Amino acid sequence: MDGNVNRIAGTTDASRQAAGGSFLTTVVMAVTPTPSMFAPVSTPAFAIREVSFLVLAITMFIFIVVAGLTLYAIIRFRRRPGDDGREPPQVYGSTQIELAWTVVPFLIVIVLFLTTTRYIFAIEGRSVTRDALQVTIVGNQWWWEIRYPGLGIVTANELHVPVSDPADPRPTFITLQSADVIHSFWIPQLAGKTDVIPGKTNRMWIDPSTPGTYVGQCAEFCGVQHAGMLLTVTVHPKEEFALWVAAQQAAAPDLSEVRAGRDVFTSVACINCHTVRGTPANGVFGPDLTHLMSRATLGAGVAPNTRENLRAWVNDPASLKPGALMPAMKVSGSELDQLVAYLVTLR
């Protein structure tokens, strides 16, 4: 199965290098994302591809037979020039033939149904194991909050998980909740969709076998910026994941040279919505900014997380993501510079 994975997911070598090089900077930019369900790297996605090949083969066969018959009837029994105008023999029906084309589809349906059920229970029936990583993802208009309850980490939009070697499985179990409307969590290469529904807790699991970065996005219409609610999953080798966890658990740096920017941050409305651990900022409506610069993108994937984009975002998020719920901050030019200088230290 592992060889299969590498052959299909052609991007994995590049992504492994990128991830190995500097995992705290932008991994997502280094790879060409292929959100194709036919390039799986995790058991649920493999299972789905397996069943999909069977179904596609059966339906393709039916198509060829029925379309072929139809085409034959159309061509063979077209009225030709010189037709004498007499009516063809009237055939009112045939019990045997009609019985045949009822029973055969019924048998096909039975095969399909049994296969489907087997795969449903195999994927949905897996229970949490002791060595599993537990993550809670909360859908928000229009970004993802990602919590690691066991590790004390809160981040956004970019899920990081360890690789799950078949010999040493480390699956990730994801609890899905919504803060507002319905969203849907979908990374085609890892698993099918699971809806993220307010008032209902859903669970799903992945066990990616190849390091790399995989892309997906919200799959249930959730308002103005449904299209701007992207997400990535970065799969790290074990040691690298441990490093990532340690870096995320660290407190935010507090550098004296950006003290002015920090003061701006804590004195304007930023702290109503955002948290920076170790500061008075403990708002919960927006993404946690403690390690803002460890993320590759801004606004749930709408722009690379560069200093210029960050400045534009703070000044007016709608310039990058029209409809985003964060208001334009309306701070003066010099204050904006100080603010951005502070934010870029949050590594």
Partner 1 sequence: MSVLIPPIATPAPATVPPGGLARLHEWVITVDHKRLGVMYVLTGLAFFVIAGLEAGVIRWQLAVAGNTVVSPQVFNRLFTVHGTTMVFMVGIPIVFGFANYLVPLMIGARDLAFPRLNAFGFWVFLFGGLLLYFSFLGGDGLYGAGSAPDVGWFAYAPLTGRAFSPGNSTDYWNLSILVMGFGTVATSINLIATTLAMRCRGMSLERMPLYVWMMLVVSGMTVLALPPLSAAQIMLLLDRFLGAHFFDTQAGGSAVMWQHFFWFFGHPEVYILMVPGFAMVSEIIPVFSRKVIFGYPMVVAASLAIGFLSMTVWAHHMFAVGMGAPLNSAFAASTMLIAIPTGIKIFNWVATMYGGRIRFATPMLFACAFLFQFLCAGLTGIILSVVPFNWQLTDSYFVVAHFHFVLVGSLIFTIFSAIYYWFPKVTGRLLSERLGRWHFWLFVIGFNLTFLPMHWAGMLGMPRRIYTYPADRGWDLWNLVATLGVPFQAAAVLIFLINVAISLRRGERAGDDPWDAWTLEWATASPPPPYNFETAPVVASRRPLWDLKHPDDPDGPHE
Chain positions 109 to 128 lying near partner 1, rule: CB under 8 A, are 109, 112-113, 115-117, 119-121, 123-125
What is the longest distance spanned by two Cα atoms in the chain?
100
Residue 175 in the binding site for partner 1 (CB under 8 A): no
**CA-based nearest residue to 19, from 243, 234, 230, 164:** 234
- Judge contact between 320 and 335, C-beta under 8 A: no
- Residue 63 binds partner 1, judged by CB under 8 A: yes
Q: Which stretch binds partner 1 (CB under 8 A): 165-173, 183-191, 253-261, 284-292?
A: 183-191
Which of 7, 200, 259, 307: binder of partner 1 (CB under 8 A)?
Answer: 200
Give me 103's structure tokens.
């029973």
Which of 128, 125, 123, 124 lies closest to 47, judged by CA?
A: 123
Answer yes or no: are the C-beta atoms of 171 and 202 closer than 8 Å.
Answer: no
Sign of torsion over alpha carbons 44, 45, 47, 48: positive
Question: What DSSP string describes 8-45?
Answer: H-TTHHHHHHHHHH-TTS-SGGGS-----TTS--SHHH
Kindly tell me which residue out of 4, 7, 69, 255 binds partner 1, with binding defined by CB under 8 A. 69
195 binds partner 1 (CB under 8 A): yes
Closest approach, Cβ 227 to partner 1, in A, equals: 4
Q: What is the DSSP letter of 79?
A: P
* 92 touches partner 1 (CB under 8 A): yes
Under a CB-based contact definition with an 8 Å cutoff, are residues 8 and 153 in contact? no
- Binding to partner 1 by CB under 8 A, coded x per residue (else -) over 234-273, reads ----------------------------------------
Stretch that binds partner 1, among 128-136, 177-185, 237-245, 246-254 (CB under 8 A): 177-185
CB nearer partner 1, residue 115 or residue 249: 115
Residue among 3, 81, 82, 93 that touches partner 1 (CB under 8 A): 93
Binds partner 1 by CB under 8 A, chosen from 79, 82, 256, 332? 79
- Which residues 202-221 are close enough to bind partner 1 by CB under 8 A? 202-203, 215-221
**Which sign, positive or negative, has the C-alpha torsion 8, 11, 14, 17?**
negative
Q: Give, as ranges, the residues between 141 and 160 that touch partner 1 (CB under 8 A).
A: 141
Residues 21-40 that bind partner 1 (CB under 8 A): 32-38
Closest among 234, 128, 125 to 189, alpha carbons compared: 234
Does 81 sit near partner 1 (CB under 8 A)? no
- Say if residues 322 and 315 touch (Cβ distance below 8 Å): no
| Tokens coding 93 | 């029906």
Confirm or reject binding of residue 181 to partner 1 (CB under 8 A): yes
Sole binder of partner 1 in the list 105, 150, 169, 327 (CB under 8 A):
105
For residue 280, give the amino acid letter: P
Q: How far is the CB of 275 from partner 1 (least distance, A)?
A: 22
